[in-house]
Chains A and B, each alone.
Chain A
Amino acid sequence: MKLKMRFFSFPAILMLFLVPLSARAQQMTATEIVKKTDDKFRGEQSGYSQMTMTVIRPAWQRTVEFKSWSKDDDYALTLITAPAREKGQTFLKRKSEMWSWNPAISRLIKLPPSMMSQGWMGSDYTNDDILRESSVVEDYIHTIEGSEPIDNRDCWKIRLKAKADADVLWGEQLWWIDKKEYITLKAELYDEDGYLVRSEKASDLKIMDGRFIPAVVELVPAENEGYKTIVKIVEVKFNITISDDFFSQQNMKTIR
């Protein structure tokens, strides 16, 4: 069900100026909602963040801490700061290349596709999540299914159906987007047969570096019992000045 803006009727235009922001937003198309959410998610041009990632399995659990710098969608540098065994490892993403530096072996290696098919650092995030360039706006057809509250916040429920020729693994996704802040609070990812493969849940919304964002994201694969990955943002800085040169192999070795 698509809501259309009625451009050409005078009363409608009047409405545009007189009605408050939230009501106006009611008239955005599903695609526009998704685009706005996506843009916000990708953040500004550049950013810095400190995060922890906890991988939970039935028999064990592990937490990794790291710092991350990124610019546009093309460059990212990640430095692992804990635990001791992994400390000092860096990962560099340059467009669709992924490099890894491990001080324990003093080796810089370009990661081949085979290495990337396992989850990153043992988590449920796959190569696809990190490196693939699929666009949630371009590769899907969006429809608004209604509204539903998540954690006491009013959300749109939007269905994203993958376009037939898109290079995406998912058949479709369901997103619950907070109407006020355009944050995806909950997502369900389905395969082409309509079976749930993964659920994502964002929580702990707070203001960080002047923006209202979720500080915690949980990833739950549907297939295996007791599997979960939790990412927490400890600190974040948006729009920092950072040159392309920062994202160099040299820097991989020296960054602290």
Chain B
Amino acid sequence: MKDFQLAWRNIWRNKRRTLITAASIFFAVFFALVMRSFQLGTYDSLYKNVIESYSGYLQVQHQDYSEEPILDNSFEADQEMLSKIESDTNVIDVVPRLESYALAAAGSRTQGVMVLGVDPEKEERLSDMNERLVKYKLTDEAINALRSEELPARTKKLLDLFRNEAYSSTGRMMLDLGISAEDSAVILPLLRKEASFTNNYLSESFPQGLLVGSGLSEFLKINVGDTLVLMGQGYHGASAAGNFIVAGIIKLPSPDIDKRIVYMPLETARDLFAARGLATTVVLSIKNFSDKSVISTARRLNSFVEPPLAVKTWKELNSLLLNQMEADSRSGMIMIGILYLVIAFGVFGTVLMMMAERRCEFGMLVSVGMQKRKLAKVVTIEMFMMGLLGVISGIIASLPPVIYGHVRPLRFTGEFARMYEDYGMEPVMPTQLPDTYYLWQTLVVLIIISIAIIFSVRKIFRINVIDSLKA
């Protein structure tokens, strides 16, 4: 107890020194937490978006489907099983899909396409389909009309470059045409007036209505209201053929997919491919998608979902994405590692300086009889206290930027922003709110402090009384 009091008094005896030492630790903790928060936040938003918008966190599939994604590996979407799945506490919705390939033909042009049969309402709720509908198109008429309006010169010049470009969001259009947030209030209504695109979503009451990718509509030269023929092979070798009408045009971020995609109501797809009652996958939208609950939900559901079906997690379905994420995480850790290297030197430097400065003091204490061991103990306690001071203040100081970064994140500019917009994501770099990583980072800093203490203690034991007194 006495040692603690001694240590405490020692610390405040020389405020400046204490504050400087504590400060080095404060900064270490602060920077580590803020940087890691940014990293994790970015991964979160990026990957979460990708997963949610397409594969979802859990899917029910035929066990052979992921290896061979062909129509013949579809399964009967048994209502009883689906209701049972839906009743699970973590499951919000059960979204069936039927996916296959066909040849699309319009006029004299043909193109191989991917056909997705979806439940219009459920799919909307899951992947926000309405967002993807093209809302603006810079057609020749639109550009001519816009030319005569009040627009900044820069935008007028850019209009030509983006002739015939289709947009599903104002965000991307603003980026392309160089419209700043301030101008938008004036310009957007104009764009809406001249460049709006009439579009419709899928509806079960319009079974022949399809959504086609904007690239596909360009290639086949078809527009809303035009006819499209799809033909190919259906389930178990049956032939598939049908006439359809373009109900709406969507824009997907990947040009390759955008040129080859067709959405239709699930029942229409089942008719077309002679696949009554079947689905190639059922996507589950869930409440809690942390790693742990995804795995436990999968386990719960797999207990009554019988082979040859299986409930698969997004990690099993997306090995490529997983690979990428791991690589990213690794590189993120390397960056943090480098940060720690720099920080550690800062802390060591300060501590060593402090020891050097107090050499005289220590020499004196030892010469009047204080045991080196006791001295070491007191100094250790002092350093821990300073460390703790630094850590706590560091954590507290990190909270404002982390919280602010989450609520009002940093915005990207340039091409990168465009890519984000294309994917329907906001081009921001958010932070992740305090979580277990806070503990981990703090732990590392404590380890650094401990190493510094060990060095200091060694120094104490090496003290040569006479030399230090002479300092």
Contact = CB atoms under 8 A, between A and B. Distances in A.
A115 B237 contact: no
Contacts, number: 56
B interface: dominant SS: strand
Interface in B203-261: 229, 231-233, 236-239, 241-243
Contact of B112 (A89, A102, A114): A114
Contacts of A55: 237
B72 A109 contact: no
A104 B233 CA distance: 14
Given A105-B241, A109-B231, A115 B236 contact: no
A109 B105 contact: yes
A85 B238 CA distance: 8
B239 A85 contact: yes
A interface: dominant SS: loop
A186 to B, nearest CB: 26
A107 B414 CA distance: 47
B359 to A, nearest CB: 80
B274 interface: yes
Given A59-B72, A112-B103, A112-B110, A105 B239 contact: no
Interface string A78-105: 0000000110010000000000101011
Contact of B239 (A60, A89, A106, A112): A89
> In which size bucket is the chain A interface?
20 to 34
Contacts of B231: 100, 102, 105, 107, 109
A121 interface: yes
Contacts of A109: 103, 105, 110, 229, 231
A62 B243 CA distance: 25
Contacts of B238: 62, 85-86, 122
B105 A107 contact: yes
A180 interface: no
Contacts of B243: 105-107
Contacts of A89: 239
Interface string A8-48: 00000000000000000000000000000000000000000
Nearest to A112: B110
Interface in B172-226: none
A118 B241 contact: no
Nearest to A107: B229
A105 B242 contact: yes
Contacts of B237: 55, 57, 60, 62, 121-123
A118 B112 CA distance: 13
A196 B441 CA distance: 61
Contacts of B274: 85
A86 B241 CA distance: 10
A60 B103 contact: no
Nearest to A114: B112
Residue of B105, B237, B238, B243 with most partner-chain A CB within 10 A = B237
26 contacts: A55-B237, A57-B236, A59-B72, A59-B236, A60-B236, A62-B237, A85-B238, A85-B274, A86-B238, A102-B239, A104-B241, A105-B242, A105-B243, A107-B229, A107-B231, A107-B241, A109-B229, A114-B103, A114-B112, A115-B103, A115-B110, A115-B232, A121-B237, A122-B233, A122-B236, A122-B238
Interface of A: 55, 57, 59-60, 62, 85-86, 89, 100, 102, 104-107, 109, 112, 114-115, 118, 121-123
Q: Sort A-B residue pairs by CB-CB distance and give the 9 closest, nearest first.
A: A122-B237, A102-B241, A60-B236, A105-B243, A105-B241, A107-B229, A62-B237, A86-B239, A104-B241
Interface of B: 72, 103, 105, 110, 112, 229, 231-233, 236-239, 241-243, 274
Given A109-B229, A114-B103, A118-B233, 20 more contacts: A55-B237, A59-B236, A62-B237, A85-B239, A89-B239, A100-B231, A104-B242, A105-B231, A105-B241, A107-B229, A107-B241, A109-B103, A109-B231, A114-B112, A115-B110, A115-B112, A115-B232, A122-B233, A122-B237, A122-B239
